[in-house]
């Protein structure tokens, strides 16, 4: 099994790490590969070519970057194109799914907001999967169960849809414990993308193991609901404190903000 981080950003878009730093960081803790998804709107043809070339240059038999893009679509829906570095001139989600799949990539709806669920269920063309746990948006402790339920409803029409588990890594001090173990005989991009499409992987965070099918027991969903709701309440509290501080014309000192994040996470 290959240890992988998926949904990561670099200084090619809005991440704080260079690709060289990401290689050193992840190799140092036993990762075999990272699937990159820098934001497509930061690129033109020359820059995206340089990005793909650097990902390839920094890849070898010990560690591999798989270059990809994150596309912003209508209603601010974000779609991950794992293994795709070709730009697209459409912001229609279903057209972007098709573009990614036609290029041999893996299309995934990233961190869908609750308000998007009903819209997603109207799509005739569906992606390879949905990001059912994004540790940046959903928090480090648990996924949102309603995202799994959305996936399960869509699987009634497309049973091969997968659950994806992404870090959405941007910042140096960001939580990085959510990873994937991929069953692939090699670290070639082709083999990794085939394994993702086939569901030959599972997500791991500390002691939590999550299947690529996204099929969870009622007890697991109930537990995640409790933990997720608690985390979201704390995040709302932190945002209110921050907003109140701004309204009073004062910025919270950095140590205070860091302490609040710690106790509210």
pLDDT digits (tens, 9 = 90+) for 30-86: 999 999 999 999 999 999 999 999 999 999 999 999 999 999 999 999 999 999 999
Q: Which of 63, 78, 80, 75 is nearest to 28 (CA)?
A: 63
Pick from 90, 138, 103, 110: which is nearest to 37 by CA? 110
Tell me the C-alpha distance between 137 and 134, whole Å: 6
Contacts of 226 (CB under 8 A, 6+ apart): none
Sketch the domain layout of the chain as residue ranges.
2-216, 219-264
Name residue 166's beta-bridge partners.
Answer: 134
SS3 79: strand
Neighbours of 209 (CB within 10 A): 10
The residue whose two tokens read 């893996």 is: 106
pLDDT on residue 250: 59
Residue 126 to residue 129: CA distance in whole angstroms:
8
- 3-class DSSP state for residue 134? strand
Q: How does residue 89 score in pLDDT terms, banded at 50, 70 and 90?
A: very high
128 Cβ neighbours under 8 A, 6+ residues apart:
101, 106, 107, 108, 161, 162, 196, 197
Q: Tokens standing for 63?
A: 């560690």
pLDDT at 260 over 90: no
pLDDT at 249: 46
Q: Identify the band that residue 197 occupies on the pLDDT scale cut at 50, 70 and 90.
A: very high
What percentage of the chain has pLDDT greater than the value 70?
A: 90
Candidate from 49-58, 87-96, 155-164, 231-240 with smallest mean pLDDT: 231-240
3-state secondary structure of 130: strand
* pLDDT tier for residue 265 given thresholds of 50, 70 and 90: low
* CATH number, domain 2-216, options 3.60.15.10, 3.20.20.140, 3.30.1370.60, 1.10.760.10: 3.20.20.140
Question: What is the per-residue pLDDT for 261?
Answer: 58
Instruction: State the pLDDT at residue 264.
Output: 52
Task: Indicate the DSSP class of residue 126.
Answer: -
End-to-end CA distance of the chain: 31
The rounded distance, in Å, linking the Cα atoms of 201 and 182 is 4
Residue 247, pLDDT score: 53
| 131 has a pLDDT exceeding 70 | yes
Region 191-216 average pLDDT: 95
Is residue 176 within 8 A of residue 169, CB to CB? The reply is: yes
Nearest residue to 82 via CA among 128, 124, 150, 137: 128
Q: For residues 222 and 239, which has the higher predicted lDDT (pLDDT)? A: 222
Q: For Cα atoms 149, 132, 27, give the angle at the middle one, nearest 5 degrees.
A: 160
What is the token pair recorded at 193?
A: 């993308």
pLDDT higher than 70, residue 248: no
């Amino acid at each position: 099994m290959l240890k992988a981080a998926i949904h990561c950003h670099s200084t090619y878009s809005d991440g704080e790490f260079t690709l060289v730093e990401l290689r050193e960081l992840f190799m140092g803790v036993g990762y075999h590969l990272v699937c990159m998804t820098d934001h497509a709107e930061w690129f033109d043809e020359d820059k995206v070519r340089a990005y793909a070339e650097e990902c390839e240059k920094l890849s070898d038999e010990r560690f591999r970057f798989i270059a990809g893009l994150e596309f912003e679509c209508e209603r601010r829906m974000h779609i991950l194109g794992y293994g795709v570095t070709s730009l697209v001139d459409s912001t229609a989600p279903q057209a972007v799914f098709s573009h990614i799949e036609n290029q041999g990539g893996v299309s995934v709806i990233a961190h869908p907001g609750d308000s998007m669920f009903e819209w997603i269920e109207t799509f005739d063309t569906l992606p390879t999967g949905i990001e059912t746990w994004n540790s940046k948006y959903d928090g480090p402790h648990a996924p949102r169960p309603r995202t799994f339920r959305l996936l399960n409803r869509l699987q009634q029409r497309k049973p091969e849809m997968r659950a994806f588990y992404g870090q959405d890594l941007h910042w140096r001090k960001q939580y990085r414990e959510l990873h994937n173990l991929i069953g692939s005989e090699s670290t070639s991009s082709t083999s990794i993308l085939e394994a993702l499409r086939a569901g030959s992987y599972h997500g791991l965070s500390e002691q939590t193991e999550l299947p690529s099918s996204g099929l969870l027991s009622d007890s697991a969903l109930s537990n995640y609901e409790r933990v997720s709701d608690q985390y979201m309440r704390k995040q709302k509290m932190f945002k209110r404190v921050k907003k109140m501080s701004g309204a009073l014309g004062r910025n919270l000192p950095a140590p205070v903000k860091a302490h609040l994040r710690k106790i509210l996470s």
